[in-house]
Every structure is written in C-alpha cells, then in structure tokens.
Structure 1
Amino acid sequence: MSTSSFVARPTDTGYTGVYVHFDGYPSSRLPLLLAAYQYRFNRDVEAISVHLVDEVDVAWDELGTDLLDGAPKSLATQLAGRDRWPSRQMHNVVNADGSPAEREVITEANSSYLEWGYILRPEGIEVISLTEVARGPVVAWDTDPRTRFSDHPSLWLPGQPVPATRPPRSAPPLAAPAPASPAARPAAHR
C-alpha cells in the first residue's frame, strides 16, 4: 500500500511541488532527504529542489537510495540496509481517455488528498501532516539522518517540537560532508 506525499519548494504564497507515490511517512522520507541534502547535494537547497521538484516529468513513483550517493557507506547501510534501488519517475501514465498524463503541480490548494508534505525550505524541511493541519514544524537541515521520526500525524503540529528520537549515543559520529565550495584561505604571515 502506498503512502502518498509530495515534495515541494516554498513560494511567496505557499508551495509548489510534485507528487510522490510510495513511502511517504516521515520515518522513511526524512532520513533520505536529510542525507541527500547533506551529502549528494553538498548542502545546497536549490540543487536538491531542482532535482526533486523541477526536473520531474509527471511525478515520482518512488525516491530511491541513489539519493544517498556520496554519503558514508555506514550511513547508507544504516538507512537502507544492504538494499539499493533507484529513484523512479512515473512514466507511461495516461488519462482515462488514453491521452498522456501531464504533470500535476501540487500546491496548498490541491494537496488535501495527500497524507504528507515535505517543503524544502532554506532552514530545513517543513513536514505537513495533511490529515491534521495545513502547516507543520521544520526539521533543520543539519539534523542527523539517523534520527528516528514519528509517523503519528497528530504529533506534527506547527509550533510544536519535531516528534523525533535522537540516534543512540552508541551510534558512531558521521563523517562531515564536503563543503559546498572550497573556502579561500588567507595567506600566512610570518
């Protein structure tokens, strides 16, 4: 059974995004998005937004472990086990009349039939439990992807703490992601 969701970028009036068919619960979606931002996209919100929102033809069938590219192997294994699968867009989707389906842009005006929303904001990922409220708390981008997030919709309320449990203290520290761009070093003076 699928858990429908969307991933979006903020706009002046709300958000605009794309449908994601499978695995929309926070416990699986947030670790993948956080790790993708921190490693594959080198902490670049615009780059992850372009990939996940702008470059999609119709919709996502599934977000895969290819989003973990660049992450430490131990982290990828903790998040996905030994299984690996690619992200898949929906293709060969047709309307009832047989015409090819066009991309449906998800906004606050047409998202009420979905269960979860993930808005890629500059400060973090806003998580919306659409069965409960129209807005939600923001998970900071520097949150450890191994964090255990709750899947209970009534806990994801605006103004409330993010419903999550930190990784165990026994978890090894993560390797720091490479900086987005090399910093210039000042000349050494003697």
Structure 2
Amino acid sequence: MGYTWLGMRKLTWEEVLQRHEKGELAGCFRLYDDNSEAMIDRGYDFAGDILAHHKKGGEFGEDIDTVDLELADGKKITAPAVVDVSTLGCMDELEYELWHVIEDYMVQFGIRTQDDEPDWATVKAVQESILTAFTDAGVNFKFGYEERSCASNKTSEKGRREGMRSAKEITESLEIAKGLCEGKTNESWNARKAGRVMAELIAHFKKKR
C-alpha cells in the first residue's frame, strides 16, 4: 500500500537529488511501507542510505505544517494544517474495515445480515460522523471536489450564457418571422432573408429534440 501518512509530503527522486546537491537533504525522511520513517541525518552516506533505499522502491518525504487540536472530550491530536484527502486515492480497504467494525456492533446487538455484502450507505453514514468529529475539532480537510466544483460552475455559467444568447437569437428570428407573416416587409426583408430565418428556426428546434 505504501506510505500514506498525510503529515509528510513525498519528494520526487529529482527533488531528492536536487536537495542532495544543495546540501539540503538532511532533515528529510526515508519512508517505509508500514507508515514508519527514518530521518536523514547530516552525516548520511548517499550510496548506502539514499541510493540503496531508492533502488528498493523506497520513498522520501519532508514534514509539512501541522496544528495541535483537541477532540470533543479533550484528547489532544496533531494534524496536518491541510489534510488533502484527494491524495489518498481509493479508500475501499478502509471502508471494508469500517464495515467489519459495524458488523461487530451488530453482533453485540443481536442483529444479523442476510448476505455478506456490506451496506455502503451505513458505512458512508459512519464515515461522515467520523469526519464531522475531526472537522468540529478544527481539522481542515481538502477533498478535491473544490476544484471540480469550480470547473463545474464555470461550465454551467458558460452553458447559461450560451443559452441566453441562443434565446435572444431565436426571439429576434421570431420577430422577423412575425413581420414577414404580417406583411410588414421592406426591401431589406426579402425572400432570401425569410428563407434564412426559417432555416434557423428549423435547425434550432431539431437541436432541441
């Protein structure tokens, strides 16, 4: 699964090399799959400590800003200043584990399920209560949908503007068509323009269908 603690920003191999060349790699960390880490001290050996770790598929990271907070009952916690949940990717394994906890509660209550499939709505509800507890404590979650929401709003606004423009064009065309039908024509409203107006109307309503 790899190193997943969000209190550490992972460094690319290029960043590791750059920091090594600048003498800035000390104080960073070697990261391990069990979510443990080892600080790189000033007397590190590049070949033995850094390159060997990299060749084994090991990762590197640096501490990010953290904040000290308290849960509802006074339990002190330390959290990243911003918890970027979007970087975690798929959380299926964690959600399955949460379902197993819910099953333990059901056993205590004498409740049985009629099949082995998790009830994902219940899992999500419990997950939401956990997130709410941390949010109330002051944890700043970033879920990644802020950018998507912004992009969606821009798309909606573009569609709205295009819809307004289309409606304006159709209204103008209908006014011209009305004038043609009522005989309010002049030299500029000739048969050619009438044909174009009707073609625009037909194309518009075909698109709507």
Bin of the TM-score, shorter chain as denominator length: under 0.3
Q: Using structure 2 for the length normalisation, give the TM-score.
A: 0.23
Which structure carries more helix by proportion?
Answer: 2
Structure (1 or 2) with the larger CA radius of gyration: 2
Q: Using structure 1 for the length normalisation, give the TM-score.
A: 0.24
Which structure carries more strand by proportion?
Answer: 1
